[in-house]
Homo-oligomer: A and B are copies of this chain.
Amino acid sequence: MPAAENEPRPAKSGTPAKSEKLAKGEKPAQGEKPAKGEKSEQTRTLILETAMRLFQERGYDKTTMRAIAQEAGVSVGNAYYYFAGKEHLIQGFYDRIAAEHQAAVREVLDRETDLQARLSGVLQAWLDIATPYHEFAAQFFKNAADPDSPLSPFSAESEHAREAAIDVHREVLAGAKGKVPAELRDVLPELMWLSQMGLVLYWVFDRSPGSERTRRLADRGARLTARSIALARFRVLRPIVLEIHELFTDFLPGMAQTAVARKS
């Protein structure tokens, strides 16, 4: 499924409009676009940030699109123009976390060539970025835990954010010294991202100060991953790695699409 379907963004061409001034609850007239260019991006960000604040304050389930629009000072129609629903706001949030993470890892990926150090740095950077959302993550978890939910990190709808996150692991691997067998080059970043999802699950429930237990787990996990990948030089192991990957691809609905997207 193309990412554009899941994450509506303002169309590139559109009639300038001022639908922020539309009466609340009124949808913009057909063909009318709320804003464009920088202004449009600002409105989109405003709605997303307002939504995240309300989700954190009131809980995801109890927050309506109407309340988000009202609090952001835009019309309900305008809010729906940018985000087709609450689920799309969460996808927007996932995309934003992914983009912030991609920027934050530059420093460590440009500096380190050791696989363990690169992976550990990438995981710690994710925990830094996610810290403000820790409490939200705990209450939101029940919505994201079902792999069939569009809010799951494994869903078709989350593909855009997932691909960005897997890209980071592709770079972790590609820029590390030491050769990785060609037959594993495609599957390892996806498996590394799956381990990261395990770490995120652990973090959601971690109540240690500063999530220090999760931070230690990230470092231990990075060491274990680097050692396991080093073992890939033994040919006898490779079929097992491929079989593990195939298992996840076959049984997690979104992963198959990731694999298809990669091949095309």
Contact = CB atoms under 8 A, between A and B. Distances in A.
Where chain A touches its partner, the secondary structure class is helix
Given A236-B234, A237-B231, A240-B227, A205 B247 contact: no
A216 B246 CA distance: 13
A228 interface: yes
A3 interface: no
Given A224-B243, A228-B240, 5 more contacts: A145-B205, A216-B251, A227-B240, A227-B243, A234-B236
A231 B240 CA distance: 9
A145 B148 contact: no
Contacts of A220: 247, 250-251
Contact of A213 (B145, B146, B247, B251): B251
Interface of A: 141-142, 145-148, 202, 205, 207, 213, 216-217, 220-221, 224, 227-228, 231, 234, 236-237, 239-240, 243-244, 247, 250-251
Contacts of A227: 239-240, 243
A207 B148 contact: yes
A146 to B, nearest CB: 5
A145 B202 CA distance: 10
A146 B205 contact: yes
